Structure 1
Amino acid sequence: MRTSPNTAPLNGRWRRIGSAATATAALLIAGLGTAAHASADTQAAQPKASGKAIAAAVAKAHVQYESACGATPKKGFASCNALRVTSGTTAFQEEQAAKKGVAPATVKPNAASATPTGYGPSDLRSAYGLTSASASNGSGQTIAIVDAYDDPNAEADLATYRSYYGLSACTTANGCFKKVSQTGSTTSLPSADSGWAGEISLDVDMASAIAPNAKILLVEANSSSMADLGTAVNEAVKLGAKFVSNSYGGGESSSDTSYDSSYFNHPGVAITVSAGDEGYGAEYPAASKYVTAVGGTKLSKSSTTRGWTESVWNTNSTEGTGSGCSAYDAKPSWQTDTGCAKRMIADVSAVADPATGVSVYDTYGSDGTGWNTYGGTSASAPIIAAVYALAGTPGSSDYPSQYPYGNTSALNDVTSGSNGTCSTSYFCTARTGYDGPTGLGTPAGTAAFTG
């Protein structure tokens, strides 16, 4: 178990929901026409491999769990989330290796790469039918990212990510990027933390990937307590954001309904929350009836008409997307599954498996300096927040979490996989229609995310 050096104390904190996976530079990714390629020397050094050998190497890919912080929550807090580091190969490496007829390179944990090895913006927009879904690409919208502690390199790292993938600059100077504390201050920021910095990089990069023309408002809470994170959510809404992404969570408690009214009851604002990364089991604030709870999938290219296929993300018995029936939060009127009398998690989903993870650029995080491949529902929550931004401003009195329930045909139904064992099958097992791990499915354009 390792701890983030700038966080004290760590036990009893809300955990970040996200997975970091670092990668080697042998096989590289393409993105918006700016793909780098391995050098001739590197390619020559890679042994040629048969399709059977490549398949065998792919089968060995796995995800290694590394604990970043303490794990015993106190009331009103939860532990900082453990990081999950890909060990093996990523889906993009497998694809590139197959094209070259070579064996896929092995990803080494905690060793950032000079070039990306995960999915980039063009991959994600292709997978979710967003290549022509919004001509404005989020122009005029503000996506707020709520996290704990400060990432001193957030703006610079975001600039590198966007430049590599050919996205326009998003800076403080041009008014696209703004970083504030939970009280709205741009100068009096929380203490820096290398663990949460990786989370911040993941969140702002995913918002950029899906809605590149949207403004990004990063709101940094003073700590990982629910009181501070909730105050940051309120500040994000106060500053005008109509889309607020939250990649943290913890076990449910009887205090959750009071947190609902204090921090998450914001009609007219799409608030997304990660469903969790520890497999079957309900978490808060994903269980809030006022938010869109976002589950996670394994996303792979395929020969289908869509060109992609998805299943429930489940690495092992302790790592996978969260889901479940809340013990405390009331069921919203638009949620109609009959097995759970209270709030059911999740509503929708997107890619989260670190083995089919997304590329992120981070120089302050605890998982190395440079390009990393991340997973977890920390990736899926900001992706869905950005899809909402593409879809347009919610109705002023609406709770946008209801929108997907009104247009399920505009979602990719995920029907295979499970995230654990449960007495009511759909709580943990994918099926046709609604299920806990993936909700109603993943975006197929923006139509399911508008009122």
Structure 2
Amino acid sequence: MHSLIRSALRRGGLRATTASLAVGAVVAAGLAVAAPAGATAATGTSQADAHRAGTRHVCARPTQPHQMACLALVRTDAVQPHAFSLGAVSADATPSGYGPGDLQSAYGLPANGGAGQTIAIVDAQDDPNAESDLATYRAQYGLPACTTANGCFQKIDQNGGSNYPTPDTGWAGEISLDVDMVSAVAPNAHILLVEASSANMSDLGAAVNQAVAQGAKFVSNSYGGPEDATDTTSDSQYFNHPGVAITVSSGDSGYGTEYPAASQYVTAVGGTSLTPDSSSRGWSESVWGSSFGGNGAGSGCSSYDPKPSWQTDSGCSARTVADVSAVADPATGVAVYQTYGGSGWAVYGGTSASSPIIAGVYADAGTPGASDYPARYPYAHTGALNDVTSGANGTCSPSYLCTAGPGYDGPTGLGTPNGLTAFTAS
């Protein structure tokens, strides 16, 4: 039986990675094997592939100034987990999409990271099933329990209390993605979920300030909206927190900048397509997107925010997005468990995945310096990152703002984590 499965996997050109193999049921006259959503036969995934994969945004797009949208994408065609059986032989399949072991392998991360740290997740609206869904995700992958009862998980409103906002099925999907990715990358960290009253920047910003006031040294923000002239005011009100690593998704619409990723005080996180290969690393990455644009990781030159001192690229005199990146392509997506608005296991992508991943890497690396802006750390350790050199998210000039190449580029920044050195205080 197992030899049949291995043979089927070889014929499909797939590699069974840790915690990401979904095996189909034996049907009728033959063996049906379901591929993990994260595995593809080719290195990198084209935008056409992503369209064929079938995705939808879980949140509505902004309809008014200063309104943000979450940046989570869910696969609509993803293979759902189920068991296979034949006679007396049976086994439980693992969920489709990459799990903690895959992400730790791809980015050289410890399996027990995050101890002693608190990572805050800032989102809008309420997910009433956040804690119970998180418990299912962590149990699936053998991660330590993270509950209110044991002090690991806490959910608060933007004022620090328990007057939670109105539940929303779209933002609930975002919340599930965020807490699951933090768990995957920093399984021993505490999780603080701060729910803003609305998707307006003023409420989300108040939630960021509340997260910092609660003592979190790592704050992930997986949302964005159009830039405008008030962004520098929002910078000073909500994101100027020395000693705190604030990560923000760069966007899911291809070339073009969004706020708050364009804030000079945050780590803007771009996105990649992540695929297993036969290299010594075992993985390869390319830009999530295509030269046609319209979908993929956001990047570009800010229209309003000044350039931080640690950025030295010459084609943009203002703030350049992004700084670093991680997997975001839904076609090479991650496993997420969500029941409020979802039916359990699903495959997610978007730079909503890469932001909490990088927040978790910062937490694994240790507490930032009290007066530091941790966004500068990767710029001091460029050799400690996986340089992504292929792919594009649109067409632009100068080309590095939308096209990958050696060294810094817009869609992937300086690259993806290769251990913790690039995220550690100098």
Aligned twin of 2:66: 76
Q: Percent identity?
A: 65
Matched, 1:236 2:211: yes
Aligned twin of 1:158: 134
| Aligned partner of residue 303 in structure 2, secondary structure | strand
Quick one: structure 1 residues 278 and 331, their matched pair in 2 at CA, closer, same or farther if it must change by over 3 Å?
same
Shift of 1:67: 5.3
Matched, 1:420 2:394: yes
Contact 1:347–1:401 (CA under 8 A) maintained in structure 2: yes
Residue from 32, 36, 50 that aligns with 1:46: 32
Matched, 1:376 2:362: no
Aligned twin of 2:87: none
Matched, 1:405 2:379: yes
Give me the TM-score of the superposition, normalised by structure 2.
0.86
| Aligned partner of residue 178 in structure 1, secondary structure | strand
Matched, 1:118 2:97: yes
Aligned twin of 1:139: 115
Aligned twin of 1:184: 160
Residue from 347, 371, 392 that aligns with 2:323: 347
Structure-2 separation of matches of 1:376 and 1:204 = 15
Contact 1:31–1:165 (CA under 8 A) maintained in structure 2: no
Shift of 1:430: 0.2
Shift of 1:64: 2.9
**Structure 1 counterpart of 2:211, which letter?**
A
Unaligned runs of 5+ in 2: 1-13, 82-91
Shift of 1:39: 4.8
Contact 2:72–2:353 (CA under 8 A) maintained in structure 1: no
Unaligned runs of 5+ in 1: 1-26, 93-112
Contact 1:114–1:370 (CA under 8 A) maintained in structure 2: no
Matched, 1:333 2:272: no
**Structure 2 counterpart of 1:177, which letter?**
F
Matched, 1:385 2:359: yes
Aligned twin of 2:125: 149
Structure-2 separation of matches of 1:40 and 1:265 = 56
**Structure 2 counterpart of 1:448, which letter?**
A
Contact 2:15–2:276 (CA under 8 A) maintained in structure 1: no
Between 1:324-333 and 1:67-76, the stretch displaced more is 67-76
Quick one: structure 1 residues 433 and 43, their matched pair in 2 at CA, closer, same or farther if it must change by over 3 Å?
farther
Matched, 1:253 2:253: no
Structure-2 separation of matches of 1:289 and 1:131 = 30
Shift of 1:38: 4.5
**Structure 1 counterpart of 2:32, which letter?**
Q
Aligned twin of 1:307: 282
| Aligned partner of residue 203 in structure 2, secondary structure | helix
| Aligned partner of residue 314 in structure 1, secondary structure | coil
| Aligned partner of residue 232 in structure 1, secondary structure | helix
Write out per-residue CA displacement over residues 216-260 of structure 1, whole angstroms, 9 at most, x where no aligned residue.
000000000000000000000000000000000011000000000
Structure-2 separation of matches of 1:216 and 1:82 = 19
Quick one: structure 1 residues 361 and 295, their matched pair in 2 at CA, closer, same or farther if it must change by over 3 Å?
same
**Structure 2 counterpart of 1:243, which letter?**
F
Aligned twin of 1:167: 143
Quick one: structure 1 residues 77 and 60, their matched pair in 2 at CA, closer, same or farther if it must change by over 3 Å?
closer
Matched, 1:194 2:161: no
Matched, 1:64 2:54: yes
Matched, 1:358 2:344: no
Aligned twin of 2:9: none
Quick one: structure 1 residues 203 and 71, their matched pair in 2 at CA, closer, same or farther if it must change by over 3 Å?
closer
Quick one: structure 1 residues 47 and 145, their matched pair in 2 at CA, closer, same or farther if it must change by over 3 Å?
closer
Aligned twin of 1:210: 185
Write out per-residue CA displacement over residues 52-110 of structure 1, whole angstroms, 9 at most, x where no aligned residue.
xx969x996723353555545422224565845354779x9xxxxxxxxxxxxxxxxxx
Contact 1:433–1:440 (CA under 8 A) maintained in structure 2: yes
Give me the TM-score of the superposition, normalised by structure 1.
0.81
Write out per-residue CA displacement over residues 84-139 of structure 1, whole angstroms, 9 at most, x where no aligned residue.
5354779x9xxxxxxxxxxxxxxxxxxxx99511000000000001146xxx5111
Structure-1 separation of matches of 2:220 and 2:72 = 19
**Structure 2 counterpart of 1:386, which letter?**
G
**Structure 2 counterpart of 1:130, which letter?**
L
**Structure 1 counterpart of 2:147, which letter?**
T
**Structure 2 counterpart of 1:77, which letter?**
Q
Residue from 196, 212, 215 that aligns with 1:221: 196
What is the number of equivalent residue pairs in this alignment? 393
| Aligned partner of residue 119 in structure 2, secondary structure | strand
The runs of 4+ residues in structure 1 deviating greater than 6 Å are 27-30, 58-61
Structure-1 separation of matches of 2:168 and 2:210 = 21
**Structure 1 counterpart of 2:103, which letter?**
L
Between 1:80-89 and 1:388-397, the stretch displaced more is 80-89
